[in-house]
Each structure stands twice: as C-alpha cells, then as structure tokens.
Amino acid sequence: MTTAQHPPRRILIVGAGLAGASAAAALREQGFDGDVTLFGQESHDPYELPPLSKGVLLGERDEPDWVREAGYYGEHGIALRRDTTVTALRPADHVIVDADGVEHGYDRLLLATGSRPRTLPGFDGPGVHMLRTLDNALALREKLTDGARVVIVGAGWIGCEVASAARAHGAHVTMVDPVPLPLRNVLGDQVGSVFRDLHADHGVTLRLGVRARGTRPDGRAVLLEDGSELPADVVVVGAGAVPRTELAEAAGLDLAAGGIAVDAALRTSAPDVYAAGDVAAHDHPRHEGRVRVEHWSNAKDQGTHVAGNLLGGHDAYGADPYFFSDQYDLGCEYRGLADPAHDELVLRGDPDSREFLAFWLRDGRVTAALNVNLWDHGDALTALVGTRARVSARQLAEADLNTLTTAGAADRR
C-alpha cells in the first residue's frame, strides 16, 4: 500500500456540492498551493440547495446561492471538473477513476458525494418529480401553476416547503404521509401539529396516516393504500434522502448509520481518505453513536473544517447541527439533535400563535432548541445546546435565557 507524502501535493475532492466546494476554497484560504481538483457530476458551478425549495420554486429567483462567485475556481487554481462522474476508488493505489476510465492519483481524497432523493416503489413515471438539483427545481417550478393539482408524497421538510411554494402559485395541493403529522419524526407530536395546522390554514389538503402506493398507470392520480385515488397533474416525491455511499462501499470503506463512517476528525477507514457533508457518518465528540446530518450548515462547516485535516491536522469536528426552514410566513431554526419520542418537550410562548420557542430536554440538558418566528434568541439557544449546561424545564419556560448558560455553566458534568 502506498502512503501519502507529507505535506500532500495532490488533493482530489469527489462531489462539487457545498461540502466539496467549501473544502476546496478552504484549502486555498489556508495557503495550500498544491493541486486541488473538484469533480462534480453537474454542469453548474457548485451551489447551495436551500434556495431551490424556497426562492427558486417560488419564482423569486432563477439561481441558487453559488458557493463561490463565478470565476473563483479558475482564479484560485482549483480545477473544477464539471459533468464528470467518478466511478471507482482504489484506496490501496491512491487512485480514483472517472466515467471515461481516466485514473487520477491523489495524496489525500475527500468524498463529499452528498445524497440523492429516496425513490419510492410505484413512483417512477415521467410525471413524478424529485427535488435535489437546480434543474429539478426549474423543471418542477414550470408545473406549479394556478389550479394545477399537486400531490406531494412525504410531509418532511422538502414536502412542506414544496407545498408552501405550490400554494403560492395557486396550485391545489394535497400532502400524503403514512406518519400522522408533518415532521413528527424530528419535532414530535405537539410541534408537528403546529405544522399540520399551518398547512391546513394555507389550504393544503392533508392525507396523513395513510401510505401512498404509487401512481395510477396513466400517471394522472396517486393511489393510496386505503383504496382512494388523488387526481394529480403533478406528483412530487419528498421521501427523504439517501447518502451516496456507492464509491466508498465498492472500495470496501467502513459504512455506518447509512453513510461513510468517519472518526471525529472526518477520516474514513481508508488511509488518506476523508468524508464530509451529508454522506459522512461522524463519530461526533459530543453525541452518542454516529451522527449523520443532512443540513446546509453541516456541509459548509465540515467542508471548511476538513481542509485543515486534509493538510495534516487531526482536529475533531464538534459543531452542533443547525437547520432552518421557511414555509409561508413561518420561519424557523433548529439547533441540536433531539429524540422527540423520548426527550421532554418544553414550550415557551404559545405554539398556536406560531411565535414560540421549543426545547427538548434529556437528563436536565437541552438536546435541541427550535425558534419559530422569533429571531432574538439565536446566541442563547446556540449556547444552551452547545454548553450542555444543566437547566430545568421551568427555567427554560420562564427565566432569562441569556443567564441560563452562565448559571448552569458551573454544572456541566
């Protein structure tokens, strides 16, 4: 087995999304002057996905947020290989192979291959839309017209944001999910019901607690397991994402939690191979078990962080997950990682007003915090989640949040 030279001279990055492009930029920002090549399947420059289900679908903009401005990669000597799929990894040789069969040697390799939308059996006709790429978003937007009948399969974050955009275009929207409340797996029953009411109040028909089994053969309806049919001009499947582990798996790298297993410093089980972003199942220093996060901030921050380790560092990545969503006139941010089925929910403010904070508590510590249409507490919520300070439900509901981390800081056993 070959081993990398120190310091590295050739760094390859597979996946020109947010994690990959952030890593490439950070390598240059940290002064690395060796070869950096970024391989991406798409024809676009690297871009961020959140605007796709928001501003782009709403028709407010045609472009996503670019990770770096046009021309950045060339100006910084980063070889951006668009339209290039990497098809194989040979870790023992320190080589990757692209779809044309060309071999590329590396000293260090970053796998930042992201996720793809989960497909559902029975939903494979031409009228079925998924949402992952800019091209997906532009194609779907064309169909979200006034009066169109849109059936959304999946009441998770993507399904909820697509419903919001479709209603803004005047479409008739039905959202279907076998789970009885939107976002219930992330937010639990009580907060999930806030999102159910939000969508109902904006005219979405909710068919929750029933599984969709596919489209009718003519593609003009979605069939439900209870025997009913939902007429559809447009079908959107938003059933979650599946990490793109295929390269790593074929190369024999360790997998975990559905992703590529990485240690605290984002190293995979293969020498000189790292992973970051959606695809990385991370041995987080402050969470139990493997943590795999499909959030914008995680991709950006892990991508930036891993650059230092690609250059020889061993620093653990320790940031807590952070997520945001916008639906109609509701904006929210979620920090941390709760288990809503077991953690205690503490509400501050009236959820029916859709201006409130929610906390999840486990053993007297905040595992996650959500702010809905309230924007003044970001630092306090970050600190509460991040410091693991001991707090009570009553303090969370009533006390000055800014004092809690200071007061609880003394007790962080």
Ligand X SMILES: Cc1cc2nc3c(=O)[nH]c(=O)nc-3n(C[C@H](O)[C@H](O)[C@H](O)COP(=O)(O)OP(=O)(O)OC[C@H]3O[C@@H](n4cnc5c(N)ncnc54)[C@H](O)[C@@H]3O)c2cc1C
Sites of contact with ligand X (CB under 6 A): 14-20, 39-42, 49-50, 52-53, 85-86, 112-115, 131-132, 158, 244, 247, 277-278, 294-297, 299, 323-325
Residue 58, strand partner residues: none
Outline where DSSP puts E strands in 99-237: 103-105, 108-111, 115-117, 128-129, 149-153, 172-177, 205-208, 212-215, 221-224, 229-231, 234-237
Structure-token pair, residue 210: 């029933």
The nearer residue to ligand X, 130 or 357, going by C-beta atoms, is 130
C-beta of 12: minimal distance to ligand X in Å?
Answer: 11
The nearer residue to ligand X, 15 or 336, going by C-beta atoms, is 15
The nearer residue to ligand X, 16 or 224, going by C-beta atoms, is 16
Say how far apart CA 366 and CA 360 lie, in whole Å: 6
The nearer residue to ligand X, 88 or 223, going by C-beta atoms, is 88
C-beta of 398: minimal distance to ligand X in Å?
Answer: 30
Residue 307 CA, distance from chain mean position? 20
- Cβ neighbours around 228 below 10 Å, total: 12
C-beta of 283: minimal distance to ligand X in Å?
Answer: 17
C-beta of 303: minimal distance to ligand X in Å?
Answer: 7
C-beta of 251: minimal distance to ligand X in Å?
Answer: 12
The CA angle 77-71-65, to the nearest 5 degrees, is: 120
Please tell me what DSSP assigns to residue 356.
E
The nearer residue to ligand X, 32 or 47, going by C-beta atoms, is 47
Q: 271-300 burial string, b = 16+ CB within 10 Å, else e?
A: ebbbbbbbbbbbbbeebeebbbbbbbbbbb
Q: How many CA atoms lie within 13 A of 221 on its CB side?
A: 9
The nearer residue to ligand X, 41 or 215, going by C-beta atoms, is 41
Task: Report which residue's Cβ sits closest to ligand X.
Answer: 17
Say how far apart CA 298 and CA 113 lie, in whole Å: 14
User: Which secondary structure element, helix H or strand E, spans residue 306, and what is its range?
Assistant: helix 296-310
The nearer residue to ligand X, 86 or 221, going by C-beta atoms, is 86
C-beta of 230: minimal distance to ligand X in Å?
Answer: 23
C-beta of 117: minimal distance to ligand X in Å?
Answer: 7
Say how far apart CA 197 and CA 191 lie, in whole Å: 10
